[in-house]
Structure 1
Amino acid sequence: MWAAGCASAEPPFPHPQARLVVAGDPEGLSGRKLADHVDRTAEALARLRPGPLFCGMRNNLASVLRYLAAWRCGRPIALLDPDLPVGVLADLAGRFQPAALLGFTHVADGSSPRAASPRGGGGAPQPHPDLAVLLATSGSTGNPRLVRLSRRAVLANAAAIATALSIEPAEVAPTSLPLHYSYGLSVLNSHLLAGASVVLTEAGLLERSFWADLDAHRCTSLAAVPYQYEMLRRLRYDRAEHPALATLTQAGGRLSEELTKEFAAQADRFFVMYGQTEATARIAVMPPDRLAGRPGSAGLAVPGGRLSIDDGQVVYHGPNVMMGYAESAADLARGDDLGGVLRTGDLGRLDSEGFLYVTGRLRRIAKIFGVRVNLDDVERLLPGPGPAAATSGDDRVTVWTEGLDAAGCARLARRLGAELRVHWSGFDVRSVDRLPLLANGKIDYRALESLA
């Protein structure tokens, strides 16, 4: 029932046993019933003009059906933050010329950006036939590129995750992360490929309804980023209150050793993972039984992948590596630029058994609670009265300013959180008498990092 539009060598996706459950609905959709819903959505998409689709990807049934219908039709779809500011969405639409904008808060559903001519003039070429999914690299900041993911990459990573985490049909996972975020999407993909169940909820971990639905549907696993584990600690998470919840997974940044130990003790299996959107999602997974003996390690390469270190940089080799980046509609027609080799931009080392330790970053990119933020974009948002700089730490950005008092630092943190659409506590704003400078007059970031 899922074969049409797919290469015969592909595994069925979703698996015929896979089930989508809207929170509060005891039955859910699976088998022929789910296939019929996807078919009807695919028929609606077929009436749109050719080209990629932009989907404001919410944690709800309509969004997931659009995603699966686009997959069913062999049509590339960009899964984006549904609450993108109008200006950011307009810039993306102008550059990529999608056939329609679907599910966005600030734009009429189904609208077409044809009024905006593609940059450079002329019609946009047809996307490459292997292209399946597009994900943004930098949220709502700056001038985001799109990551081009092939059908093969999506399926390969979903299968690798399902294998590494031993996801079986009896598993039930809630949508605890945004589905336009590669980690959240990988939870959906891996469970649907394995024939498991996904509970669709738009509630957050701080809402009582999330936990009520998690227990009502007997969810067996929970995926979270470091900030969410900090929230769970403040909520005094107690496994005894959620007896079905046996597996916890973590990615999206480094989790402190203290929290790792705390939550490993709250689960049958606690998986620490490392990944990038450019590798579809996961690159390395730490087997739970090896966690205690290798504190700080991100684990072993996922099945089918391989890790190496080149001049200190972590390099990943595997079928889940992206085809490449896209800056405009013309790039969507490109084939595979990378050949399965991803230079991650992270510094690291491998021990004698191949366990990965990430030790730093080459580029000025930080992660705040799993969301990538360009530090140069942060600096461009900083107001006076004096110079300012941004450096990265574990799941935080430190902002260094001249001339602000404590109240001003607090206001700036909240402003940055609002503008970049991440929680304000991800910004540690500090005032210094004078920013350290290099001989060429540029900010000495290493000197600042030593003060953090």
Structure 2
Amino acid sequence: MLGAGELERRIVRTVEILARLRPGPLFCGMRNNLASVLRYLAAFRSGRPVALLDPDLSPGILAELAGRFRPAALLGFTHAADGSAPARRDTPEPHPDLAVLLATSGSTGNPKLVRLSRQAVLANAAAIATALSITPDEVGPTSLPLHYSYGLSVLNSHLAAGATVMLTEAGLLERSFWAHLDAHRCTSLAAVPYQYEMLRRLRYDRSEHPAIATLTQAGGRLAPEVVTEFAAKADRFFVMYGQTEATARIAVLPPDRLADKLGSVGRAVPGGRLEIDDGEVVYHGPNVMMGYAETAADLARGDDLGGVLRTGDLGHVDAEGFLHLTGRLKRIAKIFGVRVNLDDVERLLRNTGPAAATSGDDRVTVWAEGLDAAGCAGLARRLGAELRLHWSGFDVRPIDRLPLLSTGKVDYRSLEGRG
């Protein structure tokens, strides 16, 4: 276990190591281990922008991203040796406020990077620590990837509160995860909807892990009955709503309002404000991103949004300020907390015959013409492999003929009405 003093010494040493690299942003394969955390904290300390990415990105995707953003170095990736990247040719210096870059869509499609300022990261860490009442006595495990904004926010908020983070690369289905969790007396557990479904199948029993007092949930809608079930297994159960574009969290539902606000995602985090504009949820706060980046030149841009984020979500705010989500404006779905562009899914299906993708609760429904049950199962596994997500996140269904609008486009509303 590292105390604050030893952590500080290691950060300083890592700052010195990073200083030997060329100036410019870093690409870091962000694992749930100490080496990755030290790189992240050292880059943050030294004012060097760092992109926290899936360490197991395929060589092709990693090369495409590196070609667009021209990082000074690639560190911690499975398919790339640590070291300097090719020279950055005539690229403007990153904006001095830029601190962290996160991918918008996990490992799928052609992700843009979200540009997060130092202020945004610090503001959201403090807001989460306040909203969740995180104290220095708390111990939180890395139950989510640290390159995912929700997982990163657990690290940031605990450090901001002077609390402890248990680093583990084990998953919830591995015995070692629970052995480490119990050995270090972890007091909380953060999870996305599919992980709560896993915990149901595992018959999660609080009596077996008595130190866990707090459960938190974000990353998509969790069925109300599951919320109620797990709220009974903890002293505190927090339902939360957020987006990478807001650094992590936008709203938190306090445990004492679960019963009368079931289905809501809560009130805006401290320092933030919610409004509804023509049905769309709009968030105002210091944790809003500076904007997107698609190339290295975009890293030099300042704050494009001025603290205002149009979320793309539909909803309403009730008289007490609690947000209730009702849908999405854009064709983006979440599978196991990872955002997936439904148009990207359909592009992968072009050679399989007519098919269309719609979003459901924590999964994508694919409607495919001309397939039998075996073909549907095979297509689900193929999509899982292509997008590096578990195949169960794709519900592939046979259909005689896709419904079309008079324009010849797929009638998605009709498909969604089939359930």
Find the counterpart in structure 2 of residue 289 from structure 1: 256
Against the structure 1 CA distance between its residues 385 and 337, is the aligned structure 2 distance closer, same or farther, given a 3 Å change threshold? closer
CA RMSD in angstroms, aligned pairs only = 0.8
State the distance in 2 between where 1:184 and 1:338 align. 24
State the distance in 1 between where 2:218 and 2:107 align. 20
Could you tell me which runs of 5 or more consecutive residues in structure 1 were left unpaired when the two chains were aligned.
1-27
Find the counterpart in structure 1 of residue 39 from structure 2: 66
Find the counterpart in structure 2 of residue 279 from structure 1: 246
Shift of 1:383: 4.9
Runs of at least 4 residues of structure 1 off by over 3 A? none
Find the counterpart in structure 2 of residue 100 from structure 1: 73
Say if 2:42 is the partner of 1:75: no
Shift of 1:240: 0.4
State the distance in 2 between where 1:44 and 1:171 align. 31
State the distance in 2 between where 1:46 and 1:314 align. 42
Per-residue Cα deviation, 1:148-177 (whole angstroms, up to 9, x for no partner): 000000000000000000000000000000
Find the counterpart in structure 2 of residue 13 from structure 1: none
Q: Superposed, which structure 2 residues align to 1:4-15 within 5 Å?
A: none
Question: Is 1:326–1:332's contact at 8 Å kept on the other side of the alignment?
Answer: yes
Q: Superposed, which structure 2 residues align to 1:283-432 within 5 Å?
A: 283-432=250-399
Find the counterpart in structure 2 of residue 18 from structure 1: none
Secondary structure, counterpart of 1:29 in structure 2: coil
Choose which of 60, 64, 77 in structure 2 pairs with 1:91. Answer: 64
State the distance in 1 between where 2:169 and 2:46 align. 26
Question: Is 2:274–2:283's contact at 8 Å kept on the other side of the alignment?
Answer: yes
Query: Which amino acid is the alignment partner of residue 337 of structure 1?
Result: D
The size of the alignment, in residue pairs, is: 419
Find the counterpart in structure 1 of residue 25 from structure 2: 52
State the distance in 2 between where 1:81 and 1:434 align. 38
Shift of 1:385: 4.2
State the distance in 1 between where 2:170 and 2:227 align. 25
Shift of 1:258: 1.3
Find the counterpart in structure 2 of residue 35 from structure 1: 8
Secondary structure, counterpart of 2:156 in structure 1: helix
Query: Which amino acid is the alignment partner of residue 91 of structure 1?
Result: E
Secondary structure, counterpart of 1:134 in structure 2: strand
Question: Is 2:21–2:84's contact at 8 Å kept on the other side of the alignment?
Answer: no
Say if 2:101 is the partner of 1:134: yes
Question: Is 1:314–1:347's contact at 8 Å kept on the other side of the alignment?
Answer: yes
Find the counterpart in structure 2 of residue 260 from structure 1: 227
Identity %: 82
Q: Superposed, which structure 2 residues align to 1:142-291 within 5 Å?
A: 142-291=109-258
Question: Is 2:22–2:84's contact at 8 Å kept on the other side of the alignment?
Answer: no
- Normalising by structure 2, we get a TM-score of 0.99
Find the counterpart in structure 2 of residue 4 from structure 1: none
Query: Which amino acid is the alignment partner of residue 148 of structure 1?
Result: R
Question: Is 1:76–1:134's contact at 8 Å kept on the other side of the alignment?
Answer: yes
Question: Is 1:271–1:286's contact at 8 Å kept on the other side of the alignment?
Answer: yes
Shift of 1:328: 0.5
State the distance in 2 between where 1:204 and 1:297 align. 28
Question: Is 1:364–1:376's contact at 8 Å kept on the other side of the alignment?
Answer: yes
Per-residue Cα deviation, 1:311-341 (whole angstroms, up to 9, x for no partner): 0000000000000000101100000000000
Per-residue Cα deviation, 1:413-443 (whole angstroms, up to 9, x for no partner): 1111111111111110001000000101111
Shift of 1:113: 3.2
